[in-house]
């Protein structure tokens, strides 16, 4: 024998059957309310004069599939500029004989030495900015 289980969501204002969940925000706080179509329409009508006078500060309106967050397209593996800079600094330090951990804060003495070695002129003969040359080969990695 097959069983069918259904969940009915009730309207948060009057207890009738809810047709939709309406998200909204006020004073920096985001809320959700389950409403029937009639009550959702009444809420939108009541807010209409305020929305017409308001400035929009958020991003675009998006629809999210059930079980996904709005940020589900982002990957955790993307390198940030900070990660790339510290990664280069650690590689430079190891290549130049400094003892540096794989994680954590890089000692100030190593940061200063790295900056001093990269202080060479960044301007080319044509007056355009060029990247500072690196003082270690990128294909070799010392451990």
Q: Cβ neighbours of residue 90 under 8 Å, at least 6 residues apart? A: 100, 102, 106
- The verdict on residue 12 lying in a domain is no
- The verdict on residue 132 lying in a domain is yes
pLDDT given at position 13: 94
DSSP label at residue 138: S
pLDDT given at position 129: 45
Structural domain count of the chain: 2
pLDDT given at position 49: 95
Regarding whether 86 and 49 lie in a shared domain, the answer is no
pLDDT given at position 26: 87
pLDDT given at position 136: 52
Regarding whether 139 and 86 lie in a shared domain, the answer is yes
pLDDT surpasses 90 at 115: no
The candidate with the shortest Cα–Cα distance to 39, out of 12, 4, 74, is 12
* Domain CATH for 116: 4.10.320.10
Q: What are the CA-CA distances from residue 67 to residues 4, 47, 72, 125 (Å)? A: 22, 29, 10, 56
Regarding whether 131 and 90 lie in a shared domain, the answer is yes
pLDDT surpasses 60 at 73: no
pLDDT digits (tens, 9 = 90+) for 6-17: 888 999 999 999
pLDDT digits (tens, 9 = 90+) for 117-141: 877 545 455 544 444 454 555 555 5
pLDDT digits (tens, 9 = 90+) for 22-65: 998 888 888 999 999 999 999 999 999 998 999 888 665 655 55
This prediction's pTM: 0.40
Could you tell me the residue range of the domain that residue 127 belongs to? 80-143
């Amino acid at each position: 024998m097959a069983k069918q289980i259904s969940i009915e969501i009730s309207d948060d204002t009057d207890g009738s059957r809810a047709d939709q969940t309406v998200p909204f925000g006020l004073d920096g706080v985001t809320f959700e309310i389950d409403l029937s179509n009639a009550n959702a329409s009444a809420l939108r009508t009541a807010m209409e004069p305020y929305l017409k006078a308001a400035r929009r500060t958020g991003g675009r309106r998006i629809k999210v599939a059930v079980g996904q967050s709005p940020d589900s397209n982002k990957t955790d593996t993307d390198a940030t500029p900070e990660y790339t800079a510290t990664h280069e600094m650690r590689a430079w330090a190891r290549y130049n004989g400094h003892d540096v951990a794989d994680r954590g804060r890089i000692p100030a003495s190593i940061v200063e030495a790295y900056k001093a070695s990269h202080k060479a002129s960044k301007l080319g003969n044509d007056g355009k900015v060029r990247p500072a040359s690196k003082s270690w080969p990128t294909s070799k990695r010392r451990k």
